[in-house]
Every structure is written in C-alpha cells, then in structure tokens.
C-alpha cells in the first residue's frame, strides 16, 4: 500500500444502517484520493463484517479496534484476532490510550496482542502517547520510549506493523500539538525504531485530526499518515483529511 495511511477509528459508534451508509460513502469517494492515500475503517466489532462487505472489491480496508492476546478460549466478551480476520479485517488497533486507561492494558499485554495479530496476518497499529501531566513534567519522550519498547513484538516490522503516536491530551479535546511538537516526537520514535532495525515502520499521528489541520500535520517529516477519531464518523471530513495528504 502506497501513500499516506489514513485510519478511521469509529470507537463505540455505529449501528448497522449508519455503519453501512458511512462505509459506502467512504468507499464511493475513495477514488478521489487513491493517488495519495490508503484508507482503513475500524468500526465496532458488531458491524465489522457489514462494513467489510460494503468495502469488498474497493481500495478501502477494514480493521478491528482490539483483539485478545489468546487465540481462543473462555474469555467472555472478548474478540480474537482470528475472529477479526474472519469478519474481513486486515488491520487492528492495539494499545489505544483509552484501552490502556479504561482497561488497565500494560505494554506487555499490548505486545502479546500484537503477536497474536501477526499470527493471523493482521497489521497491528500500536498506539503510544503521553498524558498532559507527563508532558508538563518533561517526561513525554521517556514515557513514549517505554511504551514503544515494551509494546512491539519480534517480527513487527517484517509483518508491516504500524506505530501511532497519540498524545493522550489531544484525543477528543480539540487541542492539537504544534507542528514542532509533532515533529520532535516523530523524530524520537523514528530514532527508537531505527535502533531496533525497524526504520521502515510507518508512524501515524493521532489526536484531534480534522480537515482544517490535516494538511499541516501530514506535511510534518516522519508523519506517514493519521489515526482519525471523531472526524472519521463523517465521510466528507474523513475524505477531506485523506485529500490533504501530500
């Protein structure tokens, strides 16, 4: 897949009919950005198969929002990587700050989930990012380094894994880091990846990405795409973000 990677994380939004309609609208508009962007939609697991069916035969891919670190078994309410694959997913978001905070996911758990995603040929999108308190005390780079080194399993680069930098304080707040702040953290992550012989791993930025700021963000060196939250729920906004790719 060439071009910027534009990933829509629908989070806990979308029932059957609205999910189908949104997937169709993105699918039908994808041709206008095909020369510059690759689109991925990550809906809730309940509508993943419906969305994947709408996207079938198009350039847009489907992904999951999480998977369990075991292949199967007595894990009520969880979803396995195999189930995501069976439902039509090609990608899976892992270690999102909302799961780290709301479900107590550690770096070790995220790494175990990523290993399972690789086993079932899903491209993991592993999220890292600091809180505002951590940034204010000057610990942002150290926090991201710890998360990154603890969350990426062996074989991650070879399986075309992806890293997403999402400063927790920018998610859903409307507040976005400056171009310089984004660039500095992406350079830091790129250096850490290069030290692990993962220099080719794409790095996405996520956190209050909108049509109005997408072009500036996507022009930052080392930003290989964006992970979009709220704006991915509106097809024209999501496509406008993709159209902003250089």
Q: Which of 54, 130, 166, 188 is catalytic?
A: 166
Q: Could you tell me whether strands 37-42 and 123-128 are parallel, antiparallel, or unpaired per DSSP bridges? A: unpaired
Name residues whose C-beta falls within 8 Å of residue 233's C-beta, 6 or more positions apart in sequence: 8, 10, 13, 14, 22
Q: Which of 54, 68, 69, 96 is catalytic?
A: 96
96 is catalytic: yes
Q: Which residues pair with 226 in a beta bridge?
A: 6, 205
Dihedral sign for Cα 42, 45, 51, 52, please: positive
Helix spans in the chain (H):
16-29, 48-55, 81-87, 97-102, 107-119, 132-136, 140-151, 179-195, 211-218, 235-243
13 is in an annotated binding site: no
- How far is Cα of residue 183 from the mean position of the Cα atoms in its chain? 18
208 is in an annotated binding site: yes
17 is catalytic: no
229 is in an annotated binding site: yes
169 is in an annotated binding site: no
95 is in an annotated binding site: no
Q: Which residues are catalytic?
A: 96, 166
Binding-site annotation: residue ranges for substrate: 9-11, 172, 208, 229-230
Binding-site annotation: residue ranges: 9-11, 172, 208, 229-230
């Amino acid at each position: 897949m060439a071009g910027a990677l534009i990933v829509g994380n629908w989070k806990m939004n979308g029932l059957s009919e609205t999910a189908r309609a949104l997937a169709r609208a993105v699918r039908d508009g994808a041709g206008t950005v095909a020369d510059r962007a690759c689109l991925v939609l990550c809906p809730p697991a309940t509508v993943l198969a419906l969305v994947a069916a709408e996207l079938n035969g198009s350039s847009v891919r489907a992904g999951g929002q999480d998977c369990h670190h075991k292949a199967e078994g007595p894990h009520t309410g969880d979803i396995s990587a195999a189930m995501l694959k069976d439902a039509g997913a090609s990608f899976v978001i892992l270690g999102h700050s909302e799961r780290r905070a709301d479900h107590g996911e550690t770096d070790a758990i995220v790494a175990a989930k990523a290993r399972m995603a690789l086993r079932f040929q899903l491209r993991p999108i592993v999220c890292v990012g600091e809180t505002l308190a951590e940034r204010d005390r000057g610990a942002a780079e150290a926090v991201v380094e710890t998360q990154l080194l603890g969350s990426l399993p062996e074989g991650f680069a070879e399986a075309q894994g992806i890293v997403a930098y999402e400063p927790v304080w920018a998610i859903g707040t409307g507040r976005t880091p400056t171009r310089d702040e984004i660039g500095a953290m992406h350079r830091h992550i790129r250096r850490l990846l290069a030290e692990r012989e993962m220099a080719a791993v794409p790095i996405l930025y996520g956190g209050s990405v909108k049509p109005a700021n997408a072009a500036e963000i996507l022009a930052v060196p080392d930003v290989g795409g964006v992970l979009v939250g709220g704006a991915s729920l509106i097809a024209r906004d999501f496509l406008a973000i993709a159209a902003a790719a250089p």
